[in-house]
């Protein structure tokens, strides 16, 4: 048996039965990560001694029959923009190369308290800006289904680690699709929680009104398991909220989807959608109907404006958040003779092209004379997009469609055309704009590459979103793993 290919649930059950140890699981993941590194590079830094020490400590607890949680002893990959004390955390950027995090992000503190084993940091687009994991300063991560293709992004390393068996699960972050889109392109499950459900403390911020951390896993149950471990209000993040009991994600999902109303937005099947993706997604929707769901066509009339809203709001927030990287307190400092020249050289040389492009865009949108036309206008259209969802959720209980309009594309194919790269996020960004929970679940292949089904829910209704994903997964079985 390949221990690195187990689901978290199965791995945890075997740990309790004494069939294997956390050390064996961890060694199997580390070996797969090392072996695949030259081909896919899911991880940019592995910390074997630290991971093995954590695994041994978990084994001692398991032997005493006193595990800390179901995640005790489970090896996970962590995206490089999530701080882990004493471990290099660089957001895959030159400006933070070699930077060692001073403290744990709240999600890391919680995972450690559950006994989870952190294997190392996974590759990502620089500062989570990108949809292909090509803008990393360490070089691109490659898709294990076809190494000439991108894995999606920005959490491409986390998606690949889970797909290829270098980790049993992983954490990513999602600002406009960065968990769901790579999950779709690599054939794994990716969950973006409702804004405010998971603390953002200790994430290297990209766009603070849109960012959320969440799990990438092989099964829907595993995603729920990690969500339960990391969620909850945190004093250190004033935008995190107290969770009501009715928002809890249960251990067991309902047997059927009988009575559930599932909306299919007609705007999500318009021009630009790959025919193979459309076919796979339509087949998946037919499966949901067989599972008892009632399928209804709905309309989200402002869909066409979501990407434009996102590409005003996100860069604006980016330009403010990345102002802290000035070469003074941490990161690389390039002396320039005067304070202003030191700022300009440190930032000019430390940030990659995409980060600078977005900082420039945001600075422009917020600058004197343009604020009303761009930023304020985008905030107003944001409300209209959000209202579309509220309106739809009076008629249906969740919304389904494709996660990405296309399957994985070739490395370098969209490198010189940022706008065409941005269009890959067309179905995912509106979910962040409205702060909703959404999961991407593998729904078959198109021309040999994975396709993702996106399920979007009401605020804090991860329960329904995951129940629908689990019902689908149960009907179609386990997605076959790629061979690297």
Q: Measured between alpha carbons, how far is 406 from 252 in angstroms, rounded to an integer? A: 33
Work out whether 308 is an interface residue with other proteins (CB under 8 A): yes
Q: Which of 7, 136, 166, 178 is catalytic?
A: 178
Task: Based on the residue annotation, tell me whether 79 is a catalytic residue of this protein.
Answer: yes
Q: Shortest approach of other proteins to residue 86 CB, angstroms?
A: 7
Nearer of residues 9 and 121 to other proteins, judged by Cβ: 121
**Interface characters, 313-332, with other proteins (x: CB under 8 A):** ------x---x--xxxxxxx
Complex with other proteins: residue 286 or 373, whichever CB lies closer: 373
At how many degrees (to 10) do helices 306-321 and 377-392 cross?
130
How far apart, in whole angstroms, are the C-alpha atoms of residue 145 and residue 363?
Answer: 39
CB of 235 vs other proteins, minimal distance in Å: 8
Contact between 91 and other proteins by CB under 8 A: the answer reads no
Q: Interacting stretch for other proteins, rule CB under 8 A, among 20-28, 99-107, 175-183, 253-261?
A: 99-107
* Residues 371, 250 contacting (CB under 8 angstroms): no
Binding residue for other proteins, selected from 48, 68, 94, 100, defined by CB under 8 A: 100
Q: Any contact of residue 424 with other proteins (CB under 8 A)?
A: no
Site string for other proteins, 442-471 (x = CB under 8 A): -----------------x------------
User: Does 154 qualify as catalytic in the annotation?
Assistant: yes
List the interface residues with other proteins, window 157-216 (CB under 8 A): 194-196, 209
Measure the CA–CA gap between 96 and 90, rounded to whole angstroms.
Answer: 5
What is the nearest approach in angstroms of other proteins to the Cβ of residue 139?
21
How far, in Å, CA of 29 to CA of 24, rounded?
Answer: 9
Instruction: Count the neighbouring beta carbons within 10 Å of the beta carbon of residue 287.
Output: 17
| CA dihedral sign, ordered 218, 220, 226, 230 | positive
Of the candidates 474, 409, 470, 400, the one whose C-alpha atom is nearest the C-alpha of residue 438 is: 400
364 binds other proteins (CB under 8 A): yes
Choices 15-23, 170-178, 246-254, 343-351 (CB under 8 A): range interacting with other proteins: 343-351
How far is Cα 145 from Cα 159, in angstroms, rounded to an integer? 12
The label of the residue with tokens 């009401």 reads 458
Helices (H), 205-305: 220-230, 275-290
Q: Please give the residues from 209 up to 248 whose contact with other proteins meets the rule CB under 8 A.
A: 209, 235, 238-239, 241
Q: Name which position in 302, 414, 458, 463 contacts other proteins (CB under 8 A).
A: 302
CB of 337 to other proteins, least distance (A): 9
290 an active-site residue? no
Q: Are 69 and 22 in contact (CB under 8 A)?
A: no
The C-alpha atoms of residue 233 and residue 221 are separated, in whole angstroms, by 22
And the tokens for 273? Answer: 């959608």
CB 74 within 8 A of CB 12: yes
Q: Which of 1, 19, 86, 478 binds other proteins (CB under 8 A)?
A: 86
- Which positions are catalytic? 79, 154, 178
């Amino acid at each position: 048996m390949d221990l690195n290919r187990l689901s978290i649930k199965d791995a945890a059950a075997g740990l309790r039965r004494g069939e294997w140890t956390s050390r064996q699981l961890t060694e199997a993941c580390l070996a797969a990560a090392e072996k695949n590194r030259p081909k896919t590079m899911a991880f940019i830094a592995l910390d074997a001694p630290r991971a093995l020490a954590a695994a041994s400590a978990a084994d001692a607890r398991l032997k005493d029959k006193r595990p800390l949680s179901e995640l005790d002893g489970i090896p996970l990959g962590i995206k490089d923009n999530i701080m882990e004390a004493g471990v290099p955390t660089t957001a895959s950027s030159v400006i933070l190369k070699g930077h060692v995090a001073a403290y744990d992000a709240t999600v890391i503190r919680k995972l450690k308290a559950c006994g989870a084993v952190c294997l190392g940091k996974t590759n990502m687009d620089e500062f989570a800006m990108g949809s292909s994991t090509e803008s990393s300063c360490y070089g691109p991560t490659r898709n294990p289904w076809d190494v000439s293709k991108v894995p999606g992004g920005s959490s491409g390393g986390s998606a690949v680690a889970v797909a290829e068996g270098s980790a049993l699960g992983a954490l990513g972050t999602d600002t406009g699709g960065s968990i769901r889109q790579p999950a779709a392109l690599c054939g794994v499950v990716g969950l973006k929680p409702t804004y405010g459900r998971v603390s953002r403390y200790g994430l290297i911020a990209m766009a603070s009104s849109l960012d959320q951390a969440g799990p990438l896993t092989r099964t829907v149950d595993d995603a729920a398991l990690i969500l339960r471990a990391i969620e909850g209000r945190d004093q250190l993040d004033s935008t995190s909220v107290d969770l009501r009991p009715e928002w809890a994600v249960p251990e067991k999902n309902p047997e059927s989807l009988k009575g559930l109303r599932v909306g299919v937005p007609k705007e999500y099947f318009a021009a630009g959608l790959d025919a193979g993706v459309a076919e796979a997604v339509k087949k998946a929707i037919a499966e949901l109907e067989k599972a008892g769901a009632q399928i209804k066509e709905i309309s989200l009339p402002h869909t066409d404006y979501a990407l434009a809203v996102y590409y005003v709001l996100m860069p604006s927030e980016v330009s403010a958040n990345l102002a802290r990287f000035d070469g003074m307190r941490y990161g690389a400092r390039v002396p320039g003779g005067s304070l202003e020249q030191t700022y300009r050289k440190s930032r000019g040389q430390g940030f990659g092209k995409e980060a600078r492009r977005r900082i420039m865009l945001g600075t422009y949108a917020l600058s004197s004379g343009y604020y009303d036309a761009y930023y304020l206008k985008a905030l107003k259209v944001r409300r209209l997009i959000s209202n579309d969802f509220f309106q739809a959720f009076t008629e249906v209980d969740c919304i389904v469609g494709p996660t990405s309009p296309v399957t994985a594309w070739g490395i370098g194919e969209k490198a010189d055309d940022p706008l065409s790269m941005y269009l890959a996020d067309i179905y995912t960004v509106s979910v962040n704009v409205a702060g909703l929970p959404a999961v991407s679940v593998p729904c078959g292949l198109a021309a040999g590459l994975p396709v993702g089904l996106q399920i979007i829910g009401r605020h804090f209704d991860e329960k329904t979103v995951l129940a629908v994903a689990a019902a689908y997964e149960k009907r179609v079985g386990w997605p076959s793993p790629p061979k690297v």
